[in-house]
Amino acid sequence: MARTGRRPGNPETREAILAAAREAFAERGFDRSSIRAIAAAAGVDPALVHHYFGTKEQLFLDVMQAPLDPAVVIAGVLSGGVEGAGERLVRAVLSVWDSPAGAAVLAILRSAVSNETFAAMTREFVVQRILRRIAKQLRLPPKEAELRTSLVATQIAGLIMARYIFRLEPVASAAPAEVARLVGPNIQRYLTGDLSA
């Protein structure tokens, strides 16, 4: 059967490159990770990395998606409908960040904060993969969807900063269920509350 586009390649090689890239981005951030070093760590030729993943930016996006599929996380959160979605969203976010994937996602956030190109990439990822999906699944009115979901993003981003980067107590050590109970209603206001009040 004829195929167009990039060949999927050997799955084991592909996984080895992804694992090496994830480790490199997590340890050194985006700017200081080279395709050459990632290829060396994976035991392959740099040309093969380009062949499978294209640019370093594309490799990064693949790494971002590798530890977790936002679609799956979000679908779980939102399948219960709009009621209580704020609290479920907080629980889902904390479950990802507290998981082994959390370190990789934290490294991505660090890179995004220190590099404008990278901040833009992360923003696009969050808008397209997460915020629009939330808006669609909760059937937010199209005219309000961007505003409401961007406000949600402000609260989630700050929760992550305070808990995982600044380790601000008592938010940093509180149990996930407790954080969800405290922060959830504020997310819920952004999603479905009266914002003109």
136 binds a copy of itself (CB under 8 A): no
Alpha carbon dihedral 108, 64, 103, 70, in 10-degree steps, equals 120
- Structural tokens at position 174: 């509180």
| Shortest distance (Å) from residue 96 CB to a copy of itself | 16
User: Of the ranges 10-18, 58-66, 97-105, 111-119, which one interacts with a copy of itself (CB under 8 A)?
Assistant: 111-119
Cβ-Cβ contacts under 8 Å for 119 (sequence gap 6 or more): 112, 113
Q: Using the Cα atoms of residue 102, residue 103, residue 104 and residue 108 in order, give the sign of their dihedral.
A: positive
Among 6, 10, 154, 177, binds a copy of itself (CB under 8 A): 154
User: Of the ranges 16-24, 35-43, 59-67, 145-153, which one interacts with a copy of itself (CB under 8 A)?
Assistant: 145-153
User: Of the ranges 48-56, 63-71, 74-82, 153-161, which one interacts with a copy of itself (CB under 8 A)?
Assistant: 153-161
- Structural tokens at position 109: 């956030």
CB closer to a copy of itself, 75 vs 120:
120
CA dist., res. 88 & res. 76, Å (int)? 9
127 binds a copy of itself (CB under 8 A): yes
Residues in contact with a copy of itself, counted by CB under 8 A, come to a total of 42
103 binds a copy of itself (CB under 8 A): no
159 binds a copy of itself (CB under 8 A): yes
CA dist., res. 69 & res. 58, Å (int)? 16
16 binds a copy of itself (CB under 8 A): no
CB closer to a copy of itself, 6 vs 32:
32
CB closer to a copy of itself, 6 vs 136:
136
- Structural tokens at position 128: 């397209």
Write the CA distances from 26 to 30, 32, 48, 105, 135, integer angstroms. 8, 11, 21, 8, 30
SS3 content of the chain, % helix, strand, coil (to 5): 75, 0, 25
Residues that bind a copy of itself (CB under 8 A): 29, 109-110, 112-114, 119-120, 122-123, 126-127, 146-147, 150-151, 153-163, 165-171, 182-183, 185-186, 189-190, 195, 197
